[in-house]
Structures are given as structure tokens and as C-alpha cells.
Structure 1
Amino acid sequence: MVRTVTAGLDGSRESRAAAEWAAREAGLLGLPLRLVHVWEPVPEPIAQAPLLGAETQQHWTERVPREAAEGIRLRHPGLDVSIGQLSGRPADELLGAAKDAELLVLGSRGLSGIGGFMVGSVGLSVVAHAERPVVLVRADQQAADEHETDPVGIPSAATPFRPVVVGLDTDSPDEELIAFAFAAAVRRGTCLRVVHGWNPPPYYAYGLAVDLELHDALARRESSDLAEVLAPWRRKFPDVEVTEESSYGTPGNHLVDASREASLVVVGRRIRRRTLGAHIGPVTHAVLHHSIAPVAVVPHN
């Protein structure tokens, strides 16, 4: 079975931006694009009231995805675009759609006046439980936004892609996460910027302000560990330019800063199948809410 790039579509600006991003990514991957529209049935007591006319319901369930697909076909000639109509709780239906997808793409509202995302409950639920990569895209994310600026300071599809940024934990580096980031850089013909943030153990922290030699020794160790993790990947992808950044401080903050000059930020999420407890770690959570660039969350064991 051929996997697809699947985008959730509800007619909002955010979902239209996600569909456009998904179309570009499907083209880079050489895969079909599937637009999924989820209609959530109205609860029975409310359904008995004439809140929505047949014409309005038909608009949202048929016209919106059809017109979106037609527009994408015009802008991306040759791309195989299909539509999926689903009914149920949006998070559950999108999780089901993600199982057969190479990746699932969702829209996320930009924070008014502040760079970054505002991730809704559906998006967070899907990210927390999906076992396939999920990408969140801001509203009005255009193709040129992933590219470097031209001589007059405007991003253009004719200029090179910005770097792909990946956050890496050297204590438990995951191969799926690293492979996804390298592949994304290869597709874009750009460099990979690896960001590693570290904090010393509590029993070291008290001495850092006065013991610069200790701080330097810890920094060298962290940089060495990062280089060791990436060495086999550099050999596997010799054509990808890799920059390594091992910095003292909170990893989430470093990744949010790096997102300002990124085409895509890649972070990981450990798969946790138990019902209770956190399913999104603090670093990924921070990046999801404050990244300027699209964010890909790669689940791993």
C-alpha cells in the first residue's frame, strides 16, 4: 500500500495553509496527497433543532474540500490529490487517518502579535497519540517562507531553502528522529542544523558561576558526545552540510530561537501507550507553541 501525505482540512485559514504545505511536501516526497475532512456529528438533543441547513452542511462537508483540492491541482500540476470524508470526533478520526500516512499535516493558528503557534486541543491530542510524524503549520505559511530572502529581503521560491533544524538529546538519541531530519534536509537541498541544549547535574550547578574551568569541561564533554552521535550519520549523508550546536541552557529555548531561520524544525516524542501521564515532553511542548517555522513531531520508542 502506497502511503500518502495527509492533511486535515476544515476550511479555516490554518488548515488551508497546512494543505498547501502538505502539497509541497508530497511533491518533494513523490507521494500522493490526501485531504481529510472530518464532520463531527451534532449531539442528538441539539441535532433535533434546525441549527444547520442542508446547504450549509453540504458546503462544509463537500464544497470546502473539493474547492481546496481543485486549487491545489492547479498550483501543483501532476500531483495526485484525493479527498477523504470522515465522520466522528476529529482527534480520533485524524489519528486513524495518520496510521496509513507517511506524515499528517495540521494547521495551527498563529499567536496574534507574537511569533509562534497556538495549538488547539485537537492538534495537541493528535500529536500526543499519533505513531506517525505530525507536522503543524501556521496560518498563511507560504512556499517562500521556507526559503532564504532575496537581495531585497523577501523570501522567494527561487532562493535556497533555509536550514532544517533538529533538536537532539545525546543521552537517548533516536535513529528515527535523526533519519527524518537528514531526509528532510536532503529533499530541500539544504543544510542540517543540530541543536543540543544541556544543563549540568544539580550538584554541579552551584559551582558554575565561579568555576569556569568546570563549565568549560562540561561544555567540551557535551560537544564531544554530540559529535560522536552524529559521526555515523555524517558518513551516511556525506552531501548534507551539518552544523552542530551544543549550548548551555534550556533546549526548548534554543530550538525556538533557531526556528526563526529554519525551513522546518524537527523534534521527537517518545511513544507512551498508557492512558495517564504526559505524552508530550516539555521541550517538544515549548517548540510546538513558540516555533516560527513549521514543526515536525517524530514519535519514537
Structure 2
Amino acid sequence: MSRRTVRAAVDGSAESLAAAEWAAREARLRGLPLNILHAWQDWSPAFAHAPFMGTDTTPGGTTITQHWAERVPREVAARLREGHPGLDVGVEQVFGRPAEVLLAAAEEAEVLVLGSRGLGVLGGFLAGSVSLPVIAHAERPVVVVRAGKRAEDDLRLGAGDDVTGEGPYLDVVLGLDLSRPCDELIAYASEAAAARSARLRVVHGWTAPVALGYAPAAADPGHSVARSLREASALTDVLRPWRGKFPDVEVTEQCVVGRAADHLVEASRNASLLVVGRRIRRAAIGAHIGPVAHAVLHHTAAPVAVVPHL
């Protein structure tokens, strides 16, 4: 399968259906085909059915679990074809452990879209036993969409009743660490903003020195002002070539003092997509989801794209 495909994992849950709908809109925006993927395991032994139901198979010879599993992606695909005429929607079902299946699928996709249960008004996502390892180990972008996400949530107020995914869109927000301003991250956010005809808002957080003892740098207010100017200038320099590559994308820069995650969560309240990076770590032990990505996954309601990079 071509990597130029948007893939959405479904299991029949409300959160996976929201992810599939979001993936369909993303595929339309990018002019790419959509692949609906369902990973399943037949956990039901024959003895669980035979004594009580008389059979553990359907008339066609498949197990009841497999029969129901096969219905899930077909029905989701049919709904998406009806709601998005002209969209190329394919279906794939793979037997195996869901996390392993999805990791393999991510490597063959432009982006993999997963659903996650919302934590309510004050929360964001609750990543589970399947989505967390996929986010932590995938080497392609993964987007997480909360349950209840609607098309109109991505649009600006006053956009009328247009919920077809054709704008006008809220900002795409990019969290950027200037110590690792990787091209993959900026490119993904720029392409997402261009596809939506949306503004790209780049947020960079930096930490002021702690005022301890008689350190002149910490005590002098002018030092923080100078540092702020340097950070802003560095951010402008990093983004300058990308403005040339995406001249139609309006870019706004935001240098902030404090925890970047806090500012990104605040910015995401008026965003159609939040983009953060995750450094690829292939070690068997240790954290594989950075603190910023981990924080925004748990505290924002906007869809979050986690882009891996070296």
C-alpha cells in the first residue's frame, strides 16, 4: 500500500468512529485515499458458545466473533462513503494484537488516526493500552481524536452551517522547541495549515533563570528582556525558510515564558489541530513520549498530531 494514505483504526467504539470521521475530512483536505483498518483477536473459545448457544459459528462457517468483527470496518466505510461522496475509502482487517497491527500500519501511512476517550470539559484525552504504545513507538505521524469531536468544532465562529470540511478553519498550533527545530515537525504543521487555508500559530516556550543568590543574570530584569528578544529572533530565523515554502500560509509567532505544555493547552482551545513532536527513541526502556506531548494528550480537547523525529 502507498504511504500516501490516511489510515484510521476502528473498533466500533464512539471514539474510533469520531477518529474515522476526522480521518475522512483529513483525507479530503489532502486529496488522499482513506483506509479503514480493524485489528481483531478471537478471544472466544468454542466452549464459551456451544453449551449455551448451540454453535460458535455462523451459517457461513466463520466464528461469531469474526462475523461481528468484519461488520465493523465495512459499516464504518459505508457510512463514510455516504457522507463524503467521491472519497476513495478502502477497508482492511488484520488478525493480531491491536498495538502491533497499528504500529505496522502506521509505517505504511501518511498519518494514522486513533480515537481516545475524552476526560470531560476540563480534560482532554485518556490514552489507553493500545493508543499509548502506538504513539510512543510509531515512526510516522499519529493523530489522536477525542470522542464527540464534530466537524464544526474545527471551524471559526460565524462560519455558518458549512461542516463539509471546506473551512474556514481555526488555527493550526505548532509547539516548537528551538533546541530541536526539526524539519519533519514544521513541514507537517505547515502542510496541515495549507490544506485547511488556516493560520499557523507557532508557540515556543522558554524558561527564565531562577533568581538565586546574587547572580547578576537572574537579578537584572534587563536580562530577561534580552533573552526574550533573542528567543523571538531565533524563532523568526527558523521559520523564515518555511514562509518561503508555504507563502499562502499566514504564520504568527508566540514566544512565551514558562512550561510550553501549559501554553499549548491554552492555545488549543481555539485550534483545529495541535501539532507536537516526539523524539524517536529505540531503546527498550525509558520514556518514549516526551513531557510536552504527554501533557497535551491529557489536557487538550483539540485533535493532537504527534510527529516523531530524530
Structure 1 length-normalised TM: 0.92
How far apart are the structure 2 equivalents of 1:17 and 1:139? 6
Q: Does 1:5 align with 2:14?
A: no
Contact 1:37 1:65 in 2 (8 A): yes
Deviates more, 1:68-77 or 1:193-202: 193-202
1:44-193 equivalences in 2 (<5 Å): 47-50=45-48, 53-54=56-57, 56-150=64-158, 156=163, 160-193=168-201
1:235 corresponds to which of 241, 244, 251: 244
Q: Which amino acid aligns with 1:182?
A: S
Deviation at 1:258, TM superposition (A): 0.6
Contact 2:211 2:219 in 1 (8 A): no
Superposition RMSD in Å: 2.3
2:275 corresponds to which of 247, 266, 272: 266
Q: Does 1:283 align with 2:292?
A: yes
1:194 corresponds to which of 202, 205, 224: 202
Contact 2:212 2:218 in 1 (8 A): no
Change (3 A) 1:229 1:10: same
1:191-230 equivalences in 2 (<5 Å): 191-201=199-209, 211-230=220-239
How far apart are the structure 2 equivalents of 1:207 and 1:281? 32
Q: Deviations over 1:120-145 (max 9, x none)?
A: 12111000000110000011211111
SS in 2 for 1:28: helix
How far apart are the structure 2 equivalents of 1:91 and 1:151? 38
Identity within the alignment, %: 56
Deviation at 1:116, TM superposition (A): 0.9
SS in 1 for 2:261: helix
Contact 2:209 2:218 in 1 (8 A): no
Aligned twin of 2:33: 32
Q: Which amino acid aligns with 2:299?
A: H
**Structure 2: which 5+ residue stretches go unaligned?**
59-63
How far apart are the structure 1 equivalents of 2:239 and 2:129? 35
How far apart are the structure 1 equivalents of 2:216 and 2:136? 38
How far apart are the structure 1 equivalents of 2:286 and 2:256? 29
Deviation at 1:57, TM superposition (A): 1.4
**Structure 1: which 5+ residue stretches go unaligned?**
none
Contact 1:149 1:156 in 2 (8 A): no
Deviation at 1:211, TM superposition (A): 3.1
Q: Deviations over 1:160-200 (max 9, x none)?
A: 10010000011110001000000000000011000001113
Alignment length (residue pairs)? 297
How far apart are the structure 2 equivalents of 1:293 and 1:207? 42
Change (3 A) 1:76 1:220: same
Deviation at 1:225, TM superposition (A): 1.1
Deviation at 1:204, TM superposition (A): 7.6
Contact 1:34 1:82 in 2 (8 A): yes
Contact 1:11 1:60 in 2 (8 A): no
Q: Which amino acid aligns with 2:265?
A: V
How far apart are the structure 1 equivalents of 2:221 and 2:212? 12
How far apart are the structure 1 equivalents of 2:271 and 2:280? 26
Contact 1:17 1:141 in 2 (8 A): yes
